[in-house]
Amino acid sequence: MTTQQQWVDGPFQLIATPKENDSGSHFSVKVAVEMSLAHNILIRGLNAIYLQGPHVKEQKDVEDFAFFCNAWVKTVHHHHSGEENVLFPELEKFTHDENIMNENKEQHHKFLDEMEEFDRYMRESAPTAYKWENVKPKLDAFAEDLVAHLRDEIPTLLDLKKYDSDGIKKVWKKMEDAAKGDIRLPNMFDTILPMVLGCADNKFEGGIHKFPPFPFFMPYLVDYWFANKHRGAWRFCPCDMHGTPKSLDFVQ
């Protein structure tokens, strides 16, 4: 990939991880760093849709692009349901503050209807009728609100510094354990994991992060087996399944 090529660090800017990322930090910093990296996966996917959507023409490409868009929406839902079902309630319990994540919860719901409408449109429209001019307004209807939420959540997590670091660590562990259990969910291996791996740039910020924290064999397993089911859709990913950035196939 040459540096001149348009890549998924725009149109929506990626989130720089909090700079207090040293080993002696409060655990809330680690939480905020990991959340920033997870949010960047979603932002890269969204940017990949914006950048490549205008260049999709052939019917097979439209079908694959529609699946890529649906997979991205599923991944956003999966991220937010993990927060609403585990992370936020556990933080409320630990801090004895039932309102502590209210702003984040409200933001989750702010763009939900419009994102669902985009998802429905991409699922139900005939590939032969595909026009980027019709897709873009559906994305524009929620993209800014979604990205604003992805940014705003980071300082909320950094604010947890006023609580006990070990307590925050235990809450995060519960979230990680629940995420491990999620591998049993339908569509996890053939849809969400290829999307996550294909949008996780391992060169980000000089390659200092190891994210997502999957076992080493996971990218191989997904790449050689599970990603095959919808292989055409993963052409729209900005990275290969091992996190190496690649040129966008549909951007000349």
Residue 149 CB, nearest approach to Fe ion (Å): 6
Cβ contacts of residue 25 below 8 Å, gap of 6+? Answer: none
Q: Smaller CB distance to Fe ion: residue 158 or 221?
A: 158
Total residues in contact with Fe ion, by rule CB under 5 A: 2
Closest CA to 150 of 50, 25, 70, 44: 44
Question: Which range touches Fe ion (CB under 5 A), out of 146-154, 161-169, 223-231, 240-248?
Answer: 146-154
Tally the residues of the chain: 252
Question: How near is the Cβ of 90 to Fe ion at its closest, in Å?
Answer: 14
Contacting Fe ion within 63-102 (CB under 5 A): 83
**Residue found by looking up tokens 């910020």 in the block:** 205
CB of 65 to Fe ion, least distance (A): 25
Contact pattern from residue 150 through residue 169 relative to Fe ion, giving x for each residue in contact according to CB under 5 A and a dash for the rest = ---x----------------
CA distances from 31 to 73, 172, 234 (A): 23, 7, 29
Q: What is the dihedral of CA 204, 180, 106, 66, to 10 degrees?
A: 70
**For Fe ion, which stretch binds (CB under 5 A), given 20-28, 85-93, 122-130, 145-153?**
145-153
Distance CA 207, CA 200 (A): 11
| Minimum separation from the CB atom of position 41 to Fe ion (A) | 10
Q: What does the binding site for Fe ion look like in residue numbers (CB under 5 A)?
A: 83, 153
